Amino acid sequence: MFKTAIVGCGAISKTHAEALRSVKNTELVALCDPNTEKVDIRAKEYGGKVYSSLNDMLDNEKIDVLHICTPHYLHVPMALEALKRGINVLMEKPPAISHDQFAELKKACKTTNAKLGICFQNRYNGAVVEAKRIIEEKKLGKIIGARAIVTWSRSGVYYTESGWRGQIDKEGGGVLINQSIHTLDLMTYIMGAPDKVTAQSSNFHLPGIINEEDSITAYLEYKDKTAVFFATTANCKDAPVLLEFYCENGSLRLEGNSLKVTYSDNTSDFKDYTVRNETGKACWGTSHTLLIGEFYECLEKTKDFPVTLESTVPSFNTMMAVYDSAKHKKSITPGEII
Ligand SMILES: NC(=O)c1ccc[n+]([C@@H]2O[C@H](COP(=O)([O-])OP(=O)(O)OC[C@H]3O[C@@H](n4cnc5c(N)ncnc54)[C@H](O)[C@@H]3O)[C@@H](O)[C@H]2O)c1
């Protein structure tokens, strides 16, 4: 039986707690949040002893897995605290808010036997799994270009009420590091990190409310001349994410969790993999349950969990390159630290 705990009892913690209900051999023993109202709500729904400090919880409970569902700036320090005690960690995205934090976490992973998994759950979406399989089979030939568009609805209240969103020291950025990081991760999961990133950022919808970006356009170039156009901005509605890969002999269009494959003779196959979301916003998808289930299965069977910190290097470095390019108004190579 794995004894589990959740730190951070806000919006996404419900998705973790609900997913844990469906994972056998787990028991949610403790919950931690300095906000007593929030932690009490989760404890009432899912059980577990209540704490207001992570260190108190780790000192007093025997925990096998810590789920980190706190604001971005706390991910790395909290993961370090757990890993050094030999506690496995399943951490929400982003993996870090700076190159320094990322490097510190990488170092900690090398000096512990505990496992670290990152919640990039969209890698488990049916449409993504199938698209990756088709691309790797090279049925459609090589990718010659791609585009990605993320237009979700995030109001001023979403930022101002949180106490951390839209603040550089707490969130690490704006729309890119919080929402469209998922799509950048899928892009690089399928295509790898680009060799050159040129980006611009703006704040069209929320000036005076947040100081960070609510919109980004980025041009990602690969050595073989393949290029990706990536765009994200706030919208009046949560529109499904659009990801399109153009290949030598056809194309793949992912919209939300549907996939349309078009072949060179103009015939196509379409499948919608959408599963109804019961516990969170529809745009979060339903793949947390799949990712969390696999994390525990890997622990139980001592297998390698695929969504490691190392696996997020391409998307993390690309994200940081987008920010640096927009800030310094020049092209950046992912991994370059300026
Ligand atoms: N994977 C996804 O699709 C997805 C979706 C939503 C959020 N998230 C991620 O989950 C994390 C939390 O987001 P959210 O929307 O739930 O935010 P939230 O603001 O609703 O919840 C964060 C919680 O952390 C608590 N907290 C703050 N400091 C703490 C501390 N020192 N110790 C313990 N708890 C503390 C806050 O009181 C709050 O209850 C973020 O990293 C976010 O990016 C991921």
Let me know whether 71 and 36 are in one domain: yes
Instruction: Read off the pLDDT of each residue in 123-152 and give the average, rounded to a whole number.
Output: 97
The CATH number for 65's domain is 3.40.50.720
Could you read off the pLDDT of 21-57 as tens digits, one per residue? 999 999 999 999 999 999 999 999 999 999 999 999 9
Which structural domain, as residue segments, surrounds residue 263? Answer: 122-281+309-328
Let me know whether 52 and 154 are in one domain: no
Q: 38: Cβ below 6 Å to ligand 1?
A: yes
CB 6 within 8 A of CB 69: yes
As for how many domains the chain has, the answer is 2
Strand order in the sheet with 215-221: 196-202, 215-221, 227-234, 143-152, 242-247, 250-255, 258-263, 268-272
Atom of ligand 1 nearest to the CA of 13: 16
Let me know whether 247 and 134 are in one domain: yes
Question: Does residue 331 sit in helix, strand or coil?
Answer: coil
pLDDT band at 286, cuts 50/70/90? confident
Q: Which of 6, 7, 12 to mutate to test the pocket of ligand 1 (most atoms within 8 A of CB)?
A: 12
Q: 71: Cβ below 6 Å to ligand 1?
A: yes
Could you read off the pLDDT of 294-314 as tens digits, one per residue? 999 999 999 999 999 999 999
Let me know whether 236 and 316 are in one domain: yes
Let me know whether 188 and 68 are in one domain: no
Could you read off the pLDDT of 104-132 as tens digits, one per residue? 999 999 999 999 999 999 999 999 999 99
Which domain-ending residue is among 90, 119, 148? Answer: 119
Let me know whether 178 and 276 are in one domain: yes
Burial class from Cβ neighbours inside 10 Å (0-12, 13-18, 19+) for residue 278 reads: exposed
13: CA distance to ligand 1 center in Å? Answer: 7
Could you read off the pLDDT of 252-278 as tens digits, one per residue? 999 999 999 999 999 999 999 998 776
Let me know whether 173 and 313 are in one domain: yes
Look at residue 7 in the predicted model and tell me its pLDDT.
98
The CATH number for 131's domain is 3.30.360.10
Let me know whether 112 and 201 are in one domain: no
Let me know whether 112 and 152 are in one domain: no
